[in-house]
Structure 1
């Protein structure tokens, strides 16, 4: 697909320096870009890469505009990274618009009571069970299953081999990547004479608008109340959300994080990769958990928290970590003092 630089500025704004008629065939990194590509520079730390780049056009901040104008056409904007994000959406939407709707593949299995709105796309061997609802423009990849009475919002994009359980709901413009399971049974069992009696999971999963869920995630249905993921949440790959968890709007979680049952996470939180949150806790809004941390208590104050040993606010954790590195030397000093002064209180 070819677009002109001026088309981008007309759609997304920014100050244009150079020819509006410059033809562009794609977006590229500074290192791989050629004359028909558009790259972006977030700040002065990328100045050397910018100078070496062969990109025909660049998205740059105002403080680099004068320097960059000597080598390429420019879009000048205060936040190049955000501009690039918007541009990637705009570009992909134009590419997909050219493909048209895939319609309903001949091998798809659609129950007669399922409700399909206009312009839905259903891939090969997908299954839509009774009373399921797909709103306008929803897209399902091959081998995806939408369970009985599940609801898929308008313009949602569900990749191949996704399983969405009975009664679960996904909002508008959600994106779910391949292999994810939404609405499997939560982990609920009652002990019975040395064995386990299954507790049937009677709740659902309710997912808001503009949520993105990575590949091979599992989101369990609630035991009684629903598991809830609010608007704008972003989940990376390989994340487990247990039954009855509630995740607030615009929270983001990196890969391999896991949240145990009945935990409530506030809005605008970030959970680092491989972090673990045990069950029945509450994290208030704007809590940020560092990668590989284990959260063992509720957090009632916004801030950044770090640690695989007892959780603390980040500043205190850094001091304790520095002290921990000296612990062996301190132990040896204490042992020497005790040896030389056996009757002392040291």
Structure 2
């Protein structure tokens, strides 16, 4: 793979204006403070514009409103961070495995695996599974019976996809992720818990990425659904019958309880807990560690919890929090004595 690009080549790829030497070459990307002359770097926030005077980067990506020192080669774009995201693909050194089935893989004869697919050592592909063109299935991954995997997917080592799961095109499943495990369904009885067999599946749309060690459980009756463009970080749990709307982003260690529906273009911070059977509107943002216990019907930014404090202050305030109900009642009683006319008017309105 060619990981060397000239300023002019990068400008054409990004459809950007450029200033400097069109033949200047870079072979990698680095931050402004660590870049060397053979590196491409970027400035995404104008408040750090002063760093351009000290950087050793060979080429910088900047917005139109940034003043670039004369010594620097630059790519001028409307959104520097977005441009940086696009060029990272050019410098990715991940080696695409060769097409073909490794001798150490086990592929059921009833599975459909085109010649363009790569199947690594120790993989298992079950009966009636159908794999799309140019998909990569890395070492130790499991594709169970009846799965449908789209084109240009990447299933990283030791990921497990249970039976009858459907993945769209260009889906990436990272290592140790589990897609389609049983949802947490049990009915209580005098003899103990009775398992509710999970009869639904998981349907994942196009251009979805699911992080390492994350789990998406299959539905109890209907399917769990992850729509197009969703990105899910590491160690996230999506419970049975959830629906995650298009282009929503979910950060690490988030847990979403069963049958909750999350809208489109939502941003869910790390360590968020979302209760079951809730509905979250489009364009909602939950800050990190938010506990979501009710449906959210309007777009906006939401938080919960208390600010960080030293432990002694936190303990005192935790005790006081438990006394809030008593204090509210005391304030109400005081108001009755201090403002009796307000109490009288309140009774009349009732």
TM (norm. structure 2) is 0.85
What's the CA shift string for 1:286-305, capped at 9, x where partnerless? Answer: 11111111111111111111
Report whether the alignment pairs 1:229 with 2:231. no
Does structure 2 conserve the Cα–Cα contact (< 8 Å) formed by 1:17 and 1:69?
no
Q: Say what the alpha-carbon RMSD is for the aligned residues.
A: 2.5
- Aligned pair count reads 319
Measure the CA separation in 2 of the matches of 1:46 and 1:118. Answer: 50
Report whether the alignment pairs 1:166 with 2:168. no
- For 2:185, which of 185, 188, 196 is the aligned residue? 188
Q: Which residue of 2 aligns with 1:291?
A: 288
Report whether the alignment pairs 1:14 with 2:16. yes
Does structure 2 conserve the Cα–Cα contact (< 8 Å) formed by 1:252 and 1:270?
yes
Structure 2 residue runs without a partner (length 5+): 307-316, 340-350
5 Å matches for 1:321-336?
A: none
Does structure 2 conserve the Cα–Cα contact (< 8 Å) formed by 1:230 and 1:249?
yes
Alignment partner of 1:172: what SS? Answer: coil
Alignment partner of 2:104: what SS? Answer: coil
Q: Which residue of 2 aligns with 1:68?
A: 68
Measure the CA separation in 2 of the matches of 1:295 and 1:109. Answer: 44
Report whether the alignment pairs 1:121 with 2:121. no
5 Å matches for 1:311-322?
A: none
Q: Which residue of 1 aligns with 2:344?
A: none
Q: Report how far residue 238 of structure 1 moved.
A: 0.6
Report whether the alignment pairs 1:82 with 2:79. no
14-23 or 238-247, which deviates more: 14-23
Structure 1 runs (4+) deviating above 6 angstroms are none
Does structure 1 conserve the Cα–Cα contact (< 8 Å) formed by 2:169 and 2:206?
yes
Measure the CA separation in 2 of the matches of 1:141 and 1:29. Answer: 31
What's the CA shift string for 1:12-52, capped at 9, x where partnerless? Answer: 21101112211111111112211111000012222233222
5 Å matches for 1:218-257?
A: 218-257=215-254
Q: Which residue of 2 aligns with 1:151?
A: 148
Q: Report how far residue 99 of structure 1 moved.
A: 5.3
Does structure 2 conserve the Cα–Cα contact (< 8 Å) formed by 1:134 and 1:151?
yes
Measure the CA separation in 1 of the matches of 2:25 and 2:168. Answer: 37
What's the CA shift string for 1:210-232, capped at 9, x where partnerless? Answer: 00111100110000000000000
- For 2:101, which of 99, 104, 108 is the aligned residue? 104
Alignment partner of 2:100: what SS? Answer: coil
Q: Which residue of 2 aligns with 1:261?
A: 258
Report whether the alignment pairs 1:141 with 2:143. no
Q: Report how far residue 258 of structure 1 moved.
A: 0.6
Measure the CA separation in 2 of the matches of 1:169 and 1:51. Answer: 51
Alignment partner of 2:270: what SS? Answer: coil
TM (norm. structure 1) is 0.86
Structure 1 residue runs without a partner (length 5+): 310-323
Alignment partner of 1:49: what SS? Answer: helix
What's the CA shift string for 1:142-165, capped at 9, x where partnerless? Answer: 100001011111111111110001
